[in-house]
């Protein structure tokens, strides 16, 4: 994220660049100064990914049985 979007990651700002992403919205959603991984949107996306991968794992185990 830091290299592609030039945004802060875990509260550490990226170096001097020609452009940067400006996050808008409340800190609880966007992560505020900690960067996007600290916000509710990232947490929700991680839970969706975990449930998807776990469901895929269960389907694969059923297929082998």
Domains in the chain: boundaries? 2-64
Token reading at 17: 């660049």
Q: Is 21 left (phi over 0), alpha (psi -120 to 50) or beta?
A: beta
Q: Where are the beta strands (DSSP E) in the chain?
A: none
What are the pLDDT tens digits along the chain (65 aa)?
666 666 767 666 666 666 666 778 888 888 887 777 788 988 999 999 999 999 999 999 888 76
Biggest CA-to-CA distance, the chain: 56
Whether the CB-CB separation of 36 and 23 falls below 8 Å is answered with: yes
């Amino acid at each position: 994220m830091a290299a592609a979007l030039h945004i802060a990651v875990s509260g550490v700002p990226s170096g001097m660049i020609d452009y940067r992403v400006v996050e808008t919205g409340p800190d609880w959603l966007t992560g505020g100064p900690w960067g996007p991984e600290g916000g509710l949107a990232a947490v929700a996306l991680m839970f969706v990914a975990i449930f998807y991968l776990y469901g895929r794992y269960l389907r694969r185990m059923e297929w082998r049985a």
